[in-house]
């Protein structure tokens, strides 16, 4: 791992934002729109439900914020790769002395930056508009966010591998894959709502523990650390598996000559 | 030897793209890789760059095997292709800054400015790359390719998008830089006059096989033709003739 090359790659992705207001707006546009919809829905439910809807309903705002952080972490890996595909710059990167590890590390670092910026903006907006304080989650907030980032990176690696293997036809996966796990991650409802046969699948996802854990903190004020450890343990498995998958696909791509095609099309 | 390719074979789903190709390139030599579309030039170049894995055979660059020493080799070479671009939404100097970082170039700014001046695009240093004409973009790509002072340069149709005047300037400049720095160049082009002017030696490929090899003048004489273009047409129209009046060059 060469820090200078990682910094250069990170710079390449960050400079895109320095040059373009539309890209900066794009970072905030969808999360803010989601926050407005979920925030006003929460306000409405609290208003009409009065005694029937518990105050706990505010977890919808927390769920939305945490979901966005997971999504951003995945997007930072996939969109960085796609930026180079779209710019026909992919070959320039991969014929430079850059290792796959350095490339992925740079996209992970970009994810950290995006998650931090997004998290701060959304938390501030949620507090200002709905008096929802994400810091209610206390010290569990940091490990929960970390856990979501790890899962986002794992999903990002799998997505990039699939795009490398199947080319432009698979680009839609960059946006689609996170939504494949969303219903099973129990983002906006507890796992118990899912059909019994689906619940083991949900509990096999690291993100489920984060969202369940968040609801527990908001309901009881107690930090469910076992949820975090489960989430972390599963993330180690998922990251390792996605790394192995990525390396395997990269070998296949080199054998089939697909990287050159993707880089020149 | 800078490049030693031995018995290189690449098949894709049973189709042979490069067929038992062997050649070498010496230090300071400009070697032209010629052939029609689908001849195997790009596949051969991409195998030398280590982004396509050969089915069989070996590639040694700077005396090291590309399969086991890819990072060290890539550090000492560079690549430019008419079919590859630099990020359009970055400024010219930002692009060079990023690639200077990737190649570990120290004190990159004066080196980048010198290259921009050489290629007569220094006035565009703060311009967004997407605002450059195709000729200016090509020249910027060549600046990127020379930024790490490479010992080996792989140029895939580098003048394809240039008008005759700029193409002539770029060719002369490339030749000058190549002589001054003793760079080895592997050069592909469909412009046979350009190849005659630039290359010390050429290799003709057809269906992945080497059909002829040698200095341009020798190859023209061997085929009893007037120009490389005529040799090219003859090879393409009669791909099997290598055994009739000459053996595939060694």
Give B146→chain A minimum CA distance, Å: 13
- Residue A261: the pLDDT is 84
Calculate the CA dihedral of residues A260, A264, B5, B9 and round it to 10 degrees.
60
Domain boundaries, chain B: 28-50+70-76+150-250, 85-148
From the candidate CATH numbers 3.40.1190.20, 3.40.50.300, 3.40.630.30, 3.40.50.80, the one assigned to the domain spanning B28-50+70-76+150-250: 3.40.50.300
- Please give the angle made by the CA atoms of A202, A208 and A209, to the nearest 5 degrees: 125
CB contact under 8 A, A9 and B102: yes
Please provide the average confidence, as pLDDT, over all residues in chain B: 90
Chain B residue closest in CA terms to A103: B102
For residue B248, pLDDT beyond 90: no
- Pair A113, A15: CB distance under 8 Å: no
Distant-in-sequence, close-in-space partners of B76: CB < 8 Å, separation ≥ 6: B62, B148, B150, B151, B152
Label residue B247 by pLDDT band (50, 70, 90). very low
For residue B42, pLDDT beyond 50: yes
Q: Does B101 touch chain A (CB under 8 A)?
A: yes
Find the mean pLDDT for residues B59-78: 96
For residue B240, pLDDT beyond 70: no
Find the mean pLDDT for residues A131-151: 87
Interval A234-263: pLDDT, tens: 999 999 999 999 999 999 999 999 988 887
Find the mean pLDDT for residues A76-87: 92
For residue B115, pLDDT beyond 80: yes
For residue B109, pLDDT beyond 50: yes
Q: Distance (Å, rounded) from C-alpha A54 to C-alpha A50?
A: 8
Please provide the average confidence, as pLDDT, over all residues in chain A: 90
Find the mean pLDDT for residues B61-71: 95
Its pTM stands at 0.89
| Predicted complex ipTM | 0.89
Chain A residue closest in CA terms to B52: A254
Strand partners, B5: B23, B59
Give A247→chain B minimum CA distance, Å: 14
Looking at per-residue confidence, does A216 or B59 come out higher?
B59
- Residue A169: the pLDDT is 87
- Residue A130: the pLDDT is 85
User: A150: number of CA atoms within 13 Å, CB side?
Assistant: 22
- Residue A101: the pLDDT is 93
Q: Distance (Å, rounded) from C-alpha A120 to C-alpha A123?
A: 5
Write down the residue that tokens 């799998």 correspond to.
A158
- Pair B27, B182: CB distance under 8 Å: yes
- Residue A54: the pLDDT is 63
Chain B residue closest in CA terms to A265: B83
Domain boundaries, chain A: 3-264
- Residue A53: the pLDDT is 63
- The helix (H) or strand (E) run that includes residue B24 is strand B15-25
Q: Does B100 touch chain A (CB under 8 A)?
A: yes
């Amino acid at each position: 791992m060469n820090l200078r090359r990682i910094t250069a790659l990170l710079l390449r992705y960050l400079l895109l934002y320095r040059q373009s207001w539309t890209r900066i707006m794009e970072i905030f546009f969808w999360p803010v729109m989601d926050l407005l919809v979920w925030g006003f829905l929460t306000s409405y439910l609290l208003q009409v439900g009065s005694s029937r809807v518990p105050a706990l309903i505010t977890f919808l705002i927390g769920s939305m914020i945490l979901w966005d952080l997971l999504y951003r972490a995945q997007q930072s890996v996939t969109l960085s790769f796609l930026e180079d595909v779209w710019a026909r710059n992919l070959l320039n990167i991969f014929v430079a002395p850059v290792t796959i590890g350095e490339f992925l590390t740079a996209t992970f670092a970009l994810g950290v930056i995006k998650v931090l910026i997004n998290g701060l903006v959304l938390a501030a907006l949620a507090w200002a508009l709905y008096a929802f304080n994400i810091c209610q989650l206390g010290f569990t907030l940091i490990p929960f966010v970390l856990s979501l980032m790890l899962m986002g990176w794992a999903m990002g690696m799998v997505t990039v591998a699939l795009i490398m293997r199947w080319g432009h036809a698979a680009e839609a996966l960059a946006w689609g894959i996170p939504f494949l796990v969303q219903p099973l991650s129990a983002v906006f409802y507890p796992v118990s709502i899912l059909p019994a046969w689906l619940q083991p699948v949900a509990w096999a996802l690291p993100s489920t523990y984060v969202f369940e854990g968040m609801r527990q903190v908001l309901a009881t004020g107690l930090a469910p650390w076992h949820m975090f450890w489960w989430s972390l343990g599963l993330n180690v498995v998922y990251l390792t598996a996605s790394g192995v998958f990525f390396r395997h696909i990269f070998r296949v791509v080199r054998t089939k000559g697909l990287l050159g095609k993707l880089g020149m099309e | 030897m800078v490049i030693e390719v031995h018995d290189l074979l690449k098949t894709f789903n049973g189709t042979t793209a490069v067929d038992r190709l062997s050649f070498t390139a010496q230090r300071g030599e400009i070697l032209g890789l010629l052939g029609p579309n689908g001849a195997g030039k790009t596949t051969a170049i991409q195998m030398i760059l280590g982004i396509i894995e050969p089915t069989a055979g070996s590639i040694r660059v700077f005396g090291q095997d590309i399969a086991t020493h890819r990072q060290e080799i890539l550090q000492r070479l560079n690549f430019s292709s008419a079919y590859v671009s630099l990020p359009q939404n970055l400024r010219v100097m930002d692009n060079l800054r990023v690639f200077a970082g990737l190649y570990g170039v120290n004190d990159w700014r004066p080196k980048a400015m010198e290259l921009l001046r050489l290629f007569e695009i220094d006035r565009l240093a703060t311009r967004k790359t997407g605002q450059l004409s195709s000729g200016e973009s090509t020249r910027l790509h060549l600046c990127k390719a020379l930024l790490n002072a490479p010992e080996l340069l792989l140029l895939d149709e580098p003048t394809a998008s240039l008008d005759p005047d700029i193409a002539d300037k770029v060719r002369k400049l490339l030749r000058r830089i190549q002589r001054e720095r003793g760079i080895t160049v592997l050069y592909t082009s469909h412009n046979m006059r350009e190849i005659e002017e630039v290359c010390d030696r050429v290799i003709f490929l057809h269906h992945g096989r080497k059909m002829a090899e040698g200095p341009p003048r020798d190859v023209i004489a061997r085929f009893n033709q007037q120009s490389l273009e005529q040799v090219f047409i003859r090879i393409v129209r009669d791909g099997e003739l290598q055994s009739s009046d000459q053996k595939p060059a060694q």
